[in-house]
């Protein structure tokens, strides 16, 4: 059976760190053999998408892990990763058979495979893997996976190295996306972690597939005078070792392997011919201690002509990943360049086996090499993560302006948190959890207390000091004080204060409604029922709009006092009876202000001449006069059509000076002097303002003016003048 399967993932830190982590886990007896036996039925007859048999690939990955110092548990995981796609519940099944640690590693690795397959597919959209933006995004995803389980990187590197080896052995070119990802992502990762054997091999194999002609040309140049060059280097090696011994320096001198990709990089970077590349002839000197390093360097510089520009002291100034050595280039009697590296046994072990190897050496002291703390597994994990963070920043810096707005910091548990550039401990707290942000009162950065508006730096460890309860400070929203850089954190702080305002508004609305119910003797009325009858989803929604003065209590009064039952027929007929001609110009038509029957203008719509009006007969309060477009009137008329009566405005001389109150609603952009400017319009038009309500929210002002008018037709012209006031968006009669 041949089945296309996702290429498995790889990744994780270094052997000593992994071994330390796994010591704290339940030991699995014969885990490697059991894992292989568990996975074999699933993967023995299937192939990866590269064409390689899956079981053979897993065997090779386990062997590579063993050569890199990986434990049996790590090797066992290489089989479990490939079994995952065949299991319905992989985490549950693997955890039951092997333990939670194995299950977590397999799941994290499988998930990372998918992420990186997506990154490789970017080439299909004309975004190659060596695009700095794509690279950095890929690294970013890897960082998040590494922060959960550092063993992932070892699996990831071993699997990719085996894929390249398989293609090389069969002389079948690897897919360009796979080779480019190896060269631009995995090889730099190996370098950053100090796993140089993997780095060099992966670089040469990937370069062989990407630029086969250049690779063959340099390989041919190396082969042309190999015997002569090797004889010369061996002669030089023996001479150097003997002369150092005569100087009292016990040195082990070795020839250095030649890596084609590094030679090509030097030729291109420095515009050199092949003959001018220094490390074509190279030696490595390994001595007992640091004092011997400098003694050996002094002797080499006495015997040979040094090239000052090619000297590097990585002992005094270690590389970020902890690498230490002395590098110098000298010329022999014939003027040929020779590169010589000088280091201690501990430095050499670190250089060969990875970034964490030096933690095993007690002579390094409590701070270890390169100032890295060696206090335990947590410090080791932090050190590796910081190397990965530095790698991401180096990669982002390859293209100016890319990802300069982002930093990574660490939690006390060594999880990575992504933040915007300039972020503070408060931003960090809100990113971890909203409630932690609200309760944040202090912060420790790398163990030292700092002010909450301190800008964080890439790779720092942040710990929040929080109260059990509480809320944010309004100072945090003051941009000049610099407490927040994250838009998301700012939004969470604003939301908290908005919620407090909402609570206060709801409390005010609740108080108003409960006072009304108390006046009406209806305190037993269920608030949920009241809200539902008024069209609100909950009582709080009702209280909120009442508290904001956006919903009139009159609507509740209307609900509590629905229109009365129809009048008796004989009483209703009296209203329809024709009035004397001198009192009612139209038979059966009530004339507002003229007829003897009591009338009142409805407060809900506040009619004024010459509005179209209609009357509604009430019990004991006469006839209520409404505008015909009044929603309350239409609702009452629909329920009790027999109580509607035709009315019209009176025309007697007594009505000539009558005024009517109406409400005018204005929406405008809030500004200084807005209320004054609108009031002046009414004053100039000789309209008396008897009431004003204003509210401003987020720069928008809502105003309600109650003005007295003699007729509504004139009001329309005045509203036109109000709309011309600066900032006014709408002005209308309510």
In this structure, what token pair is assigned to residue 579?
A: 């009035």
Average pLDDT over residues 313-320: 88
Q: Is residue 205 part of a domain?
A: no
- pLDDT at residue 676, rounded to an integer: 85
Q: Is the pLDDT of residue 578 over 70?
A: no
Give the SS3 label for residue 561.
Answer: coil
Cβ-proximal residues to 426 (8 Å cutoff; 6+ apart), any chain: 437, 440, 443, 452, 453, 476, 483, 484, 489
Domain with 524, as residue range(s), is 496-560
* CATH number of the domain to which 294 belongs: 3.30.460.10
Dihedral class, residue 268 (left if φ above 0, else alpha if ψ from -120 to 50, else beta): alpha
The CA distance from 55 to 567, in Å, is 94
Q: Is residue 366 part of a domain?
A: no
Percent of the chain with pLDDT over 90: 19
- pLDDT at residue 13, rounded to an integer: 36
- pLDDT at residue 470, rounded to an integer: 86
The CA distance from 15 to 355, in Å, is 9
Q: Does one domain contain both 48 and 154?
A: yes
**Of 121, 226, 252, the residue nearest 175 (C-alpha):** 121
- pLDDT at residue 388, rounded to an integer: 62
Residue 251 Cα to chain centre, angstroms:
53
The CA distance from 344 to 347, in Å, is 5
Q: Is residue 257 part of a domain?
A: yes
Q: Does one domain contain both 623 and 580?
A: yes
pLDDT in tens, 666-704: 888 888 888 888 888 888 888 888 888 887 777 888 888
Beta-sheet strands, E only, within 334-439: 337-344, 406-410, 416-420
Q: Is the pLDDT of residue 152 over 80?
A: no
Domain endpoint, select from 655, 672, 703: 655
* CATH number of the domain to which 420 belongs: 3.10.20.30
Q: How many helices (H) and strands (E) does the chain have?
A: 27, 21
Q: Is residue 385 part of a domain?
A: no
pLDDT in tens, 79-110: 998 898 888 888 889 888 888 878 877 887 87
φ, ψ dihedrals at 534, nearest 5°: -90, 0
The CA distance from 529 to 112, in Å, is 54
Q: Assess contact for 140 and 418: CB atoms under 8 A.
A: yes
Q: Does one domain contain both 459 and 510?
A: no
Q: Is the pLDDT of residue 223 over 70?
A: no
Q: Is residue 130 part of a domain?
A: yes
pLDDT in tens, 253-269: 887 666 778 777 777 76
* CATH number of the domain to which 126 belongs: 1.10.3210.10
Q: Is residue 85 part of a domain?
A: yes
Q: Does one domain contain both 321 and 446?
A: no
In this structure, what token pair is assigned to residue 43?
A: 């993967």
Give the SS3 label for residue 186.
Answer: helix
Q: Does one domain contain both 231 and 334?
A: yes
DSSP state of 308: G
Hey, how many other C-beta atoms are within 10 angstroms of the C-beta on 76? 26
Domain endpoint, select from 485, 509, 528: 485
Paired sense of beta strands 440-445 and 462-466, if any: antiparallel
Domain endpoint, select from 437, 461, 485: 485
Q: Does one domain contain both 231 and 169?
A: no
Count the domains in the chain.
6
Q: Is residue 391 part of a domain?
A: no
- pLDDT at residue 562, rounded to an integer: 65
**Higher local confidence (pLDDT), 320 or 450:** 450
- End-to-end CA distance of the chain, in Å? 78
Q: Does one domain contain both 475 and 543?
A: no
Q: Does one domain contain both 649 and 667?
A: no
pLDDT in tens, 488-500: 999 999 999 988 8
Q: Is the pLDDT of residue 222 over 80?
A: no
Q: Is residue 6 part of a domain?
A: no
Confidence of residue 533 (pLDDT cuts 50, 70, 90): confident
The CA distance from 244 to 284, in Å, is 13
Q: Does one domain contain both 575 and 555?
A: no
Q: Assess contact for 708 and 688: CB atoms under 8 A.
A: yes
Q: Does one domain contain both 532 and 553?
A: yes
DSSP state of 95: H
Q: Assess contact for 530 and 542: CB atoms under 8 A.
A: yes
Q: Does one domain contain both 165 and 296?
A: no
Q: Does one domain contain both 55 and 184?
A: yes
């Amino acid at each position: 059976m041949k089945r296309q399967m996702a290429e498995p993932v790889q990744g994780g830190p270094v052997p000593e760190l992994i071994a330390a982590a796994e010591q704290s886990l339940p030991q699995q007896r014969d885990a490697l053999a059991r894992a292989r036996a568990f996975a074999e039925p699933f993967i023995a007859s299937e192939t990866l998408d590269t064409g390689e048999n899956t079981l053979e690939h897993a065997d090779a990955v386990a062997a590579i892990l063993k050569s890199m110092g990986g434990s049996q548990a790590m090797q066992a995981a290489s089989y479990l990763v490939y079994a995952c796609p065949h299991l319905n519940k992989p985490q549950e099944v693997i955890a039951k058979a092997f333990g939670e640690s194995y299950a977590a590693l397999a799941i994290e690795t499988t998930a990372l495979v998918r992420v990186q397959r997506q990154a490789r597919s970017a080439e299909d959209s004309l975004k190659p893997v060596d695009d700095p933006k794509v690279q950095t995004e890929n690294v970013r995803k890897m960082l998040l996976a590494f922060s959960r389980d550092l063993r992932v990187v070892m699996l990831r590197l071993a699997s990719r190295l085996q894929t390249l080896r398989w293609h090389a052995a069969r002389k079948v070119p690897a897919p360009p996306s796979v080779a480019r990802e190896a060269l631009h992502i995995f090889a730099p990762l190996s370098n950053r972690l100090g796993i140089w054997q993997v780095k060099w091999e992966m670089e040469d194999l990937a370069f062989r597939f990407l630029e086969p002609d250049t690779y063959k040309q340099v390989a041919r140049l190396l082969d042309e005078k190999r015997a002569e060059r090797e004889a010369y280097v061996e002669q030089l090696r023996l001479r150097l070792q003997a002369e150092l011994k005569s100087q009292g320096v016990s040195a082990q001198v070795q020839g250095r392997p030649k890596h084609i990709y590094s030679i090509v990089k030097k030729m291109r970077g420095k515009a050199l011919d092949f003959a001018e590349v220094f490390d074509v002839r190279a030696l490595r000197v390994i001595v007992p201690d640091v004092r011997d390093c400098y003694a050996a360097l002094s002797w080499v510089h006495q015997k040979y002509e040094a090239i000052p520009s090619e000297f590097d002291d990585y002992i005094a100034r270690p590389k970020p990943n902890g690498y230490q050595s002395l590098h110098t280039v000298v010329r022999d009697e014939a003027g040929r360049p020779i590169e010589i590296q000088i280091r201690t046994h501990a430095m050499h072990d670190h250089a060969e086996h990875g970034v964490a190897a030096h933690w095993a050496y007690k002579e390094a002291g409590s701070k270890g090499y390169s100032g890295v703390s060696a206090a335990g597994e947590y410090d080791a994990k932090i050190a590796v993560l910081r190397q990965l963070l530095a790698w991401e920043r180096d990669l982002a810096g390859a293209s100016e302006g890319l990802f300069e707005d982002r930093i990574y910091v660490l939690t006390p548990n060594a999880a990575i948190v992504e933040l915007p550039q300039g972020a503070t401990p408060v931003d960090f707290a809100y990113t971890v959890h909203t409630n932690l942000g609200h309760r944040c009162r202090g912060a420790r950065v790398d163990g030292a207390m700092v002010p909450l508006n301190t800008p964080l730096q890439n790779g720092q460890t942040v710990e929040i000091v929080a109260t059990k309860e509480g809320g944010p400070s309004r100072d945090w929203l003051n941009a000049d004080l610099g407490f927040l850089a994250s838009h998301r954190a700012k939004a969470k702080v604003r939301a908290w204060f908005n919620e407090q305002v909402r609570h206060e508004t709801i409390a005010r609305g609740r108080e108003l409604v409960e006072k009304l119910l108390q006046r009406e003797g209806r305190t037993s009325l269920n608030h949920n029922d009241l809200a539902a009858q008024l069209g609100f989803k909950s009582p709080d929604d009702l209280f909120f709009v009442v508290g904001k003065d956006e919903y009139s209590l009159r609507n509740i009064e209307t609900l509590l006092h629905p229109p009365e039952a129809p009048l008796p027929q004989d009483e209703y007929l009296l209203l329809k009876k024709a009035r004397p001609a001198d009192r009612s110009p139209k038979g059966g038509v009530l004339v507002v202000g003229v007829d003897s029957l009591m009338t009142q203008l409805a407060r809900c719509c506040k009619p004024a001449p010459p509005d179209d009006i209609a009357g509604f007969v009430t019990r004991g309060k006469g006839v209520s006069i409404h505008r015909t477009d009044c929603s309350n009137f239409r609702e009452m008329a629909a329920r009790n059509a027999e109580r509607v009566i035709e009315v019209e405005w009176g025309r007697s001389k007594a009505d000539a000076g009558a005024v009517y109150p109406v409400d005018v609603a204005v929406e405008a952009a809030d500004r200084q002097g807005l209320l004054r400017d609108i009031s002046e319009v009414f004053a100039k038009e000789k309209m008396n303002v008897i009431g004003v309500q204003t509210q401003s929210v987020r720069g928008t002002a809502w105003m309600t003016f109650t003005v007295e008018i003699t007729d509504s037709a004139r009001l329309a012209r005045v509203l036109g003048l109000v709309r011309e006031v600066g900032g006014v968006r709408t002005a209308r009669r309510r």
